[in-house]
Amino acid sequence: MKTIRKFLYMANNSDLELKKHFEIMCTLRSLNGLLQSQILWSSEKEIYRYAVFTEVLVHLNFLLVESNRQLGKRVSFTDDIKIHDDIKDVTDLIRNFRNAACHIGSELRSFGDKNDPLGKKSFFSDFHGKNRTGTEPSVETIYNDDVGFICGLDILYLKRHIERAYQEVWSNFKLCFSEGVIKFILQQ
């Protein structure tokens, strides 16, 4: 509770903290609008999907970092996540996808032998439903009711990862805002 009180009143402490409070509030609002737009679910709006996906990752990564930094509340579920050196939970998964989406030359986009120029392959795509495979090795989802985004050998699900992480980070920050600010964030 002490951490939440500190965040609630941080706007009184300095302009920098006021700016951070405002950034969090506006980022929550923007992310809510992007998810409500359903562009990531719609195949009819294919041309916008990658841009919206990248924007969602940037906003969600920022909120996950600030939830951990400002409130000491890391979003750390591991359901349907392949755990490995770089990824221990959903916060790490979203960070890696954000970095890969924003940095086209990133090693995070690659799989295969990184030391062999001919063995290094890039794979970044999305799919609806089951059995989406790319060039070797294949990656597939087990869910028909979700959209999966693939980067390297990792899968980030829209409903199971992105929307759930948003709900958890929203729950963390919701306690820090007045009723009027909450209405502003949810207003579309």
How many angstroms separate the CA atoms of 131 and 142, rounded?
A: 8
H/E run at residue 169 = helix 164-174
- In order along its 188 residues, the chain shows pLDDT tens digits of 444 444 545 444 456 577 888 899 999 999 999 999 988 887 677 778 888 999 999 999 999 999 999 889 999 999 999 999 889 999 999 999 999 888 877 666 665 555 544 444 444 555 555 444 444 444 556 787 888 888 777 889 999 999 999 999 999 988 887 788 788 777 76
Instruction: State residue 128's pLDDT score.
Output: 52
H/E run at residue 151 = strand 147-151
Name the residue type at position 71: L
Name the residue type at position 147: V
Q: Is 99 helix (H, G, I), strand (E, B) or coil?
A: helix
Q: Which two tokens stand for residue 95?
A: 């960070």
Q: What is the pTM of this model?
A: 0.79
Instruction: State residue 75's pLDDT score.
Output: 98
Instruction: State residue 16's pLDDT score.
Output: 57
Count of domains for the chain: 1
b/e per residue, 85-100, with b = 16+ CB within 10 A? Answer: eebebbbbbbbbbbbb
Quick one: which of 98, 138, 146 has its CA closest to 109?
Answer: 98
- Phi and psi based region of residue 109 (left: phi greater than 0; alpha: psi -120 to 50; beta: remaining): alpha
Q: What is the CA radius of gyration of the chain?
A: 18
Instruction: State residue 188's pLDDT score.
Output: 63
How many angstroms separate the CA atoms of 158 and 102, rounded?
A: 18
Q: Tell me which residue range forms the domain holding 172.
A: 2-186
| Helix residue spans in 9-124 (DSSP H) | 15-36, 46-71, 90-102
Name the residue type at position 91: T
Q: Which two tokens stand for residue 186?
A: 């949810």
Residue 39: partners with Cβ closer than 8 Å, 6 or more residues away = 45, 48, 49, 52
